[in-house]
Amino acid sequence: MKISGKTFIVTGGTGGLASDAARMLLAEGASVGLFDVVPTETGDAFAQSLSGEGKAIYVKVDITDSAAVKVAVRLVSDKLHNLAGCVHCAGISLKRPLSNVVAESIGNFEKMLKVNTVGTFIVNAQVADEINRPLNFPDGSDKPGPFWTSDEERGVIVNLASAASRPYARTLAYGPTKAAVVGITEAMADFLGPSGIRVASISPSIIMSPLNAGLGGFFTDDLLKHAIFPRAPIGSEQISSTIKWIIETGAINATNIFVDGGWKMVVTKPGIEGGKDPRESWPGVE
């Protein structure tokens, strides 16, 4: 899909990866609707700093609130026109000192499941439904019309999963919420393919963004030791170039792309090769 002239929603829009993705999309000639939970004045000022020509607008919306997301998506579509997809970056990674009582992780698992997983389903669904609205409701009523198929490319959704989406990655609660993002990506791609909408996800290793503030050294140490190459955190511009490639390369669909230097997050074992115990990293990643 050609990026120029299209509109994309960028969730988590003021965050580390999203702001870089928004800059890339604007530089390629798109308009962007930024969704985040930061105060409206902060978000508006940020949108203004990205584009003084009104090609970036901010909407304060919690992605776990389906009705609010629907309204926000419609607003962006009406104001900026040519809605062609989204780059879904909103997500949270909760940290706390871990103990050997697994049940202590249930609370944070529920919170991350809501934002990272349910939020992904909501954003994907509301964006796709808005793109498809004219064809889903051909007579203008509230009643969906019959199923239809398009051979035209009509949209692209890019979800941010994580290197921790591997089921064996050492993130007890965050990891499964991201594995589900990969699952949602594949299921959405399958369901939306007939309407000409592609869906893919990206799984980065570690990017030094606010998400990782206060992260203990375990994961960064493991990355330095065990990524194949590069053995270092990656830059958000590497994620933006992957997003651009996914949007522009029409055959990329229903897949999860690791941008992780070949790091598997499982190599260091406690007590072996001087490996630290991830449960003792402070603060632990849930």
Ligand X SMILES: NC(=O)c1ccc[n+]([C@@H]2O[C@H](COP(=O)([O-])OP(=O)(O)OC[C@H]3O[C@@H](n4cnc5c(N)ncnc54)[C@H](O)[C@@H]3O)[C@@H](O)[C@H]2O)c1
Binding site for ligand X (CB under 6 A): 11-12, 14-18, 35-38, 62-64, 89-93, 115, 119, 160, 162, 204, 206-207, 209-212
Distance, CA of 36 to CA of 63 (rounded, Å): 8
Count of other CB atoms within 10 angstroms of residue 143: 8
> What's the min distance (Å) between Cβ of 98 and ligand X?
19
Choice between 44 and 193, CB closer to ligand X: 44
Contacts of residue 276, defined as CB under 8 A and 6 or more positions apart, other chains included, come to 218, 221, 268, 270
| For ligand X, the closer CB: 62 or 136 | 62
> Do 4 and 31 meet the contact criterion of CB atoms below 8 Å apart?
no
Nearest to ligand X of 81, 266 (CB atom): 266
Residue (37 or 135) nearer to ligand X, CB: 37
Q: Could you give phi then psi for residue 31, rounded to 5 degrees? A: -110, 155
Angle between helices 119-136 and 174-192 (to 10 degrees): 10
Q: How far is the CB of 153 from ligand X (least distance, A)?
A: 25
Residue whose CB is less far from ligand X, 42 or 150: 42
261: phi > 0 → left, psi -120 to 50 → alpha, else beta; which?
A: left
**Closest distance of CB 18 from ligand X, Å:** 6
CB atoms within 10 A of CB 134: 9
Minimum gap (Å) between residue 161 Cβ and ligand X: 7
Distance CA 119, CA 139 (A): 30
- Count CB neighbours of 251 within 10 A: 6
Considering beta carbons, is residue 96 or 135 the nearer one to ligand X? 96
The nearest distance, CB 69 to ligand X, in angstroms, is 9
- Its sign, for the CA torsion 101, 104, 106, 108, is negative
Smallest gap from Cβ 92 to ligand X, in A, equals 5
Closer to ligand X at the Cβ: 83 or 202? 202
Residue closest to ligand X (Cβ): 15
Smallest separation, CB 133 to ligand X (Å): 22
Return the number of the residue (137 or 221) whose C-beta is nearest ligand X: 221
Long-range contacts of 175-179 (CB under 8 A, 24+ apart): 176/109, 176/113, 177/109, 177/112, 177/113, 177/116, 177/117, 178/116, 178/203
Bond preceding residue 144 cis, omega within 30 of 0: no
**How near is the Cβ of 234 to ligand X at its closest, in Å?**
8
The span from the CA of 41 to the CA of 46, in Å, is 9
